[in-house]
Amino acid sequence: MDITLLDEMKERLGNAVKNGTNDADRFHVFAWEAGLGKSTHVNDSVVAYFNELAFKGNPKKFLIVKKFKTDVYETVEQLNQGGVLEMYGDYSVIGLTSENVAKYSVDKIKNCMVLVITHQRYIEACDRELFHAFGDRDTLIIDEQVQFPITKFGRSEYNGMRKDIHLYEGQVLFDKCFLPLLKRLDEIYKERGYNNIVTFQDAFDKDALKEFKNWVKDNCKGEKRQRRYKEIIQSLELLQADFSEGLIHNDALYLIDKSIQFRKLKDNIILDASADITPLYQIEEQFIVVENRLCINHSKSNVGYLKVNTSKSSLKKNLEGIIRDVQHRLKNIKDKKKVLLVCHKENSTELLVGIKKVFGDNVYIPKGEEDIEATQSYAAVDWYGNIVGKNTYKDYDICLIIGTHNMPLPVYLLQFVQYSPNLNVSRFPQKMELKSGKFENETLEAFRKAFLAADFYQAARRVQRNQEPKASYLLYTFDEDVVQTFVKKFNQLTDVFALNNDNLVNAPLSTKDEKVIRILEYIRDKCGVGEVVSKKNISEALDIESSNISRYLKHKLISNCVEQGHIEIRNKVVVKNTVFTLE
């Protein structure tokens, strides 16, 4: 640990908290390494401000934004230690969550010296300037990356809403609101553009939505039904709003509300350990990364990676072999080191069962927000979307990351649009080419990989969160570029090495296997039950040589679907008989 460097970084962050950034237009982003205590130092600096400076003039007011409710309560507890803020009485520190918001008046919320809220509450307030919700404040401090909502609209969402409309006349009016989108999706399908990303800039008939809302007002009775209709109307309003922007991919529209955007105060700070490798903070008019130096010595830590395809479909195929590999490696661990497995939530149950065969029943898996059991367990299983910002596993020794946090490709682009005040989807090409689930454009593909590396880093640094870590990180991933970006966040690692994957019975998929899975996904996702699709159309849609299609259709995976009655292979066509999943 470079103590001198850490002290310099602490002084810089402390000065920004106490004296301001003098930059109302941009967030000053501190990309301190995970585990250095950014949040604690901010809390100490806020207390120091009130202890040293508050009586020299009108004291500043702070708005602190935390990812989880538990973080809100913990922050309030730390700020109240020592009693410095007690001089302000009821207007000192308030931690606002969904559990306690009813107990605070608007006056108290707007006038307290330090208000601590969750990401969700901040996002909800970002449709206008922050003073409307939180009063006149000076300094905004956001802990961790804010993820603005991205809403998906497709046939599944259409069916889900339509079935809850209780009268046929209401369904007809609802269809008038939604069907223009489905018509556009059909046009893209017929143009064979569904494997690409297409910008969405269509206009809707606003009178249709007004007519549907009037019908709901006259015909909707009962609290539960009214609540559901309110949700449906909110979805339709977003779909038809002038400030909504979206991208179409895989027969669905991904939509953002551009009226919701980052709102700032006089001084603005973001704390995000992966900010220097996440592309979102490269938007210069919005952010400046002011601190990303590495001071933790990782010479007692190492990184290994095992090359295995971890796309969702491939991971399903490989999961059994991966679990056996995990078991094999953990059985050889001496001194009962504590192990964290990070995965997709949908795979957590199978991994939990597998790891219990090594560690017995003393394995933790999240249950709400309670984390006391985790400190007493030999191992834990947690997942993407739940792991960022957690200190629950800070004393664990080993982190195994199983699977890549791949998001739908439009999501990467739309997050960038949401973060940039001067960018909209019209700036993108009308159609963006994709190949094998990746961007054809090298810049966009590098952009996507940087997101993946940041997710890996955030997951890995949940363990050994101290100034002299002795950790082992094992990534199950096929993408060496992502691994190389990931390891740049570690100073003086002992070793970075590729592991032998002989223990994986299901080795990385061959090109033939990948094409067969793409064919099955096409039939599953693009064809309706009873639909007859020609082999030629499948070949053209997936860019597969037509001379090879019959050979691929004889593959074991497809033969299994035929035997189970899901599909039928005829001379020149394929028939989808049932809805099915890929196991």
User: What does the pLDDT look like over 247-277, one tens digit per residue?
Assistant: 999 889 999 999 999 999 999 999 999 999 9
Least confident of 71-85, 435-449, 569-583: 569-583
The two tokens of residue 232 are: 């449906």
CA-to-CA separations, 456 to 231, 401, 446, 461, in angstroms, rounded: 34, 7, 15, 9
pLDDT at residue 174 tops 80? yes
Q: What is the pLDDT of residue 502?
A: 64
Residue 120 phi, psi (nearest 5): -60, -45
**DSSP category for residue 428:** S
Distance (Å, whole) CA 525 – CA 531 = 12
Residue with tokens 């995976």: 557
Closest alpha carbon to 115 in 143, 98, 135: 135
Q: Which amino acid is at 562?
A: V
pLDDT(507) > 50: no
User: How far apart are alpha carbons 397 and 392 in whole angstroms?
Assistant: 13
Name the band, by pLDDT with cuts 50, 70 and 90, for residue 505: very low
Alpha carbon distance 400, 380 (integer Å): 10
- Give the C-alpha separation, 372 to 349, whole Å: 20
CB 295 within 8 A of CB 37: no
Question: Rounded to whole angstroms, how far apart are CA atoms 378 and 554?
Answer: 46
Picking from 125-139, 358-372, 407-421, 506-520, which range would have the lowest pLDDT averaged per residue? 506-520
Q: How many helices (H) and strands (E) would you count in the chain? A: 20, 24
Is 60 exceeded by the pLDDT of residue 456?
yes
Question: Quick check: 188 pLDDT over 90?
Answer: no
Angle formed at CA 564 by CA 563 and CA 567, multiple of 5 degrees: 80
Reading the block at residue 289, the tokens are 């990364």
C-alpha span between 167 and 294 (Å, rounded): 62
State residue 134's pLDDT score: 96
Q: In sequence order, what are the residues at sequence separation of 6 or more whose Cβ sits closer than 8 angstroms to the Cβ of residue 36?
A: 6, 9, 295, 296, 467
Per-residue pLDDT, 230: 95
Q: Is the pLDDT of residue 527 over 90?
A: no
Most trustworthy range by pLDDT among 48-57, 354-363, 549-558: 354-363
**Residue 251: which region, alpha, beta or left (left: phi > 0; alpha: psi -120 to 50)?**
left
Share the mean pLDDT of the chain: 89
Q: CA–CA separation, 367 vs 373, rounded Å?
A: 10
Instruction: Taking the CA atoms of 319, 323, 324 and 325 in sequence, report the sign of the dihedral they define.
Output: positive
Mean pLDDT within 222-232: 94
Pairing of strands 573-576, 434-435: unpaired
Tell me the residue type at 437: G
The average pLDDT across 171-198 equals: 88
Q: Any bridge partners for residue 270, and if so which?
A: 29, 142
Output the six-digit token pair for 430. Answer: 């009308």
> What is the per-residue DSSP string for 149-183?
--EEEEHHHHHHHHTT--SHHHHHHHHHHHHHHHH
When mean pLDDT is compared across 84-88, 111-115, 156-160, 229-233, the lowest value belongs to 84-88
Q: For residue 334, what pLDDT is reported?
A: 56
Q: In angstroms, how far is the first alpha carbon of the chain from the final one?
A: 47
Mean pLDDT of 203-221: 92
Q: Is the pLDDT of residue 506 over 60?
A: no
How much is the pTM?
0.81
Residues of the chain with pLDDT > 90: what percent? 56
User: In this predicted model, what pLDDT tens digit does every residue of 98-154 receive, in sequence order?
Assistant: 999 999 999 999 999 999 999 999 999 999 999 999 999 999 999 999 999 999 999
Across the range 56-64, mean pLDDT stands at 88
288-302, 488-502, 505-519, range with the lowest pLDDT = 505-519
CA 399, 277, 292 angle in degrees (round to 5)? Answer: 95
* Residue 63: predicted pLDDT: 98
Q: Report the residue count for the chain.
A: 583
How far is residue 506's CA from residue 525's CA, in Å, rounded to a whole number?
25
User: 93 near 78, Cβ under 8 Å?
Assistant: no
Q: Assess contact for 214 and 162: CB atoms under 8 A.
A: no
**138: which DSSP letter?**
S
